Chain A
């Protein structure tokens, strides 16, 4: 390659050039519509009517809306509970797959499958698995004599929440596993060996070396997964549509139901607006973590 003019070696110029493509894409197709969306939250717009500004009226109503309260609780629970499981199980699976054994390549790619199948379709599968009449889980439990009736996975509010979480965990484990596998490969073996020579036990090695070294990675994976989970839509919309009686709505499904299905665009945008502060905190935390990375 020929020597490039020194202009390109000036940091501000080069940085601008390198960042420009990403900034154009994200700015034009995301930030701009996002601004439009946020503004919408302060209007009484409906489908087909641009509406006028009504200040905080949408928000003021929403904080008194019992459905929104359930939704907030659901979203928080859904995010927290599934995150804990996804992280723990994803790491465990990565530890298992990080070993050398016959067929490890096969298992590594096959166990990523839940992440590969389009969510709409895997949601169909889970929907059937949790069917009140056709669930094979119920079928097996009844056949084994552990139950005398089918479980009402999606009809009972708490069971329905749990069932959706299981489906989400199922789908989300591979995300953590992939990340952790990369992280584990990056830890030099010598560290473990040195520790072992010093007489450390396996769990000590794990907690004091592996876990500590993986911490920055954990932060990033957690934050991103939290964002995906917090704004999840497809699973819930396919399996329960927020039912029974609004017991399983998340912010996004509720916003979609009211804005798109119900036509109350302003209110829907305001519901989405409720997620912004939370997500902003996450993003800030992520940035902070990133900055502190070695």
Chain B
């Protein structure tokens, strides 16, 4: 395979090879050379343990030369696991040591990033870099620094971007990259193996009707499934978008104008949701993001959609449940290809940043293999990176239960599909239009037609003119 401009062979899972390949002098950004002292570290895992000594691993020649006396402020979502922040801070420290650019990192709850980013965009002040969600940068592309060189450099170096990452990072309107994709908190169907077998299934179903049959069988055994239908920003949006898309439905056509939500595929998806809803544990109508974690760990539900956090929490506090847990990709319906949605996060630099080169260098540094590898490892699979090379990290295979999360970004579509990312798509997602369409039809017992018509009405307004 082609790696860093030279032909090398990286057998999947061979860490040593991967690691040392990473450490060879690399071509980056049009031939500039970057020298890193070659180290023989046994793997990413060890690299993590040796985080402190890595910091002294020699001066790194920056690709983007930071401005004199530059300082940076980064705002990002708080880590889903504590080790995330520890590694991020350690990497940031390394950056400061290498470039003498101090970086202040501010962590806030993931849902609160958006108002803060909105404020920064509106006022032209605030953090220099924000790690935000979904198509946030497409709401104010003209206020962001062109990061094409960072994105293309990283892409070349690390196996390329997944298609969806390109969609999220590249602005067709501006004709350049406005954000550097980081990755997504991929969701899988989390299920209890024992109960699935008890219900007569050896394998997790691969299509929606199989899933429905499984749900029925599980309910008969007293172990209902549960999918969030309240205003759950992550869990609720993710599974309902999958459902809409896998039946071939979409909110809007490719022209980003014609509303397509009230067509036959949506109605099929809604009818399916009604049947599935009948098999669910009572109360999903009010579920927000944490509800299914708790219900699953308490043994109240047998299948739900979630990031790897349930498994992670189970390993910590409920080892017997952890043993029984497994994960599967969402089934694939009539549309014939995976159509998932994951919370996607990317880093963008505001025009008001006085040190754009320092900011670019920081993003490049943090997402490069030496830093991002251990960081992703430390998150135990919670975030799947948007660069393909990272699927070779041991975290995805060390525990086979994490493997389904590895390819989540490859399986996903962008919110607002088949239209463009931007203000309209962001609004539709933030207002839970798709999610509420399904909730109206299931929880509120509306007919499929009425629920779709209501969604259509609101989408018309959002996508007007």
Contacts and interface: CB of A to CB of B under 8 A. Distances in A.
Q: Do chains A and B touch in the complex (CB under 8 A)?
A: yes
Contact of A155 (B114, B282, B426): B282
Interface string B410-434: 0000000000000100111011100
Contacts of B229: 155, 243-244
Contacts of A130: 286
A61 interface: yes
B140 A49 contact: yes
A260 B288 contact: no
A130 B295 CA distance: 14
Contact of A48 (B139, B283, B427, B444): B139
A240 B231 contact: yes
Max chain B C-beta neighbours (<10 A), residue from A152, A160, A244: A244
Given A46-B139, A48-B143, A262-B431, A244 B283 contact: no
Contacts of A240: 230-231, 286, 288
Given A155-B230, A244-B444, A132 B283 contact: yes
Interface string B439-459: 110011000000000100110
Interface residues of B, number: 43
A165 to B, nearest CB: 15
Given A133-B283, A133-B294, A243-B231, A48 B121 contact: yes
A261 interface: yes
Given A132-B282, A261-B430, A245 B444 contact: yes
Contacts of A157: 444
B115 interface: yes
B439 A243 contact: yes
Interface in A52-69: 61, 65-67
Interface string A57-84: 0000100011100000000000000000
Interface in B183-212: none
A196 interface: no
B431 A261 contact: yes
B291 A155 contact: no
Contacts of A245: 285, 436, 439-440, 443-444
Interface in A124-163: 130-134, 149-150, 152-157, 160
B426 A263 contact: yes
Max chain A C-beta neighbours (<10 A), residue from B114, B139, B231: B231
A257 B444 CA distance: 21
Q: Classify the secondary structure of A's interface with B.
A: loop
B284 interface: yes
A155 B283 contact: yes
A131 to B, nearest CB: 7
A247 interface: yes
Interface in A160-185: 160
A47 B298 contact: no
B283 A152 contact: yes
A245 B273 CA distance: 15
Contacts of B288: 240-241
Interface in A237-260: 240-247, 257-258, 260
Nearest to B426: A263
Contacts of A221: none
Contacts of A150: 282-283
A271 interface: no
Interface string B211-245: 00000000000000000011101000000000000
Interface in A25-56: 46-49
Contact of A264 (B230, B283, B286, B427): B427
B118 A154 contact: no
Contact of A47 (B118, B230, B281, B283): B118
Given A130-B286, A155-B284, A241-B233, 7 more contacts: A47-B423, A133-B298, A155-B230, A241-B231, A244-B229, A262-B426, A263-B426
9 contacts: A46-B139, A47-B118, A133-B300, A155-B285, A155-B443, A244-B443, A244-B444, A247-B444, A257-B430
Interface of B: 114-115, 118, 121-122, 139-140, 142-143, 229-231, 233, 281-288, 291, 294-295, 298, 300, 423, 426-428, 430-432, 436, 439-440, 443-444, 454, 457-458, 461-462
8 tightest Cβ-Cβ pairs between the two chains A and B: A132-B283, A48-B140, A155-B285, A154-B286, A241-B231, A261-B430, A262-B427, A243-B231
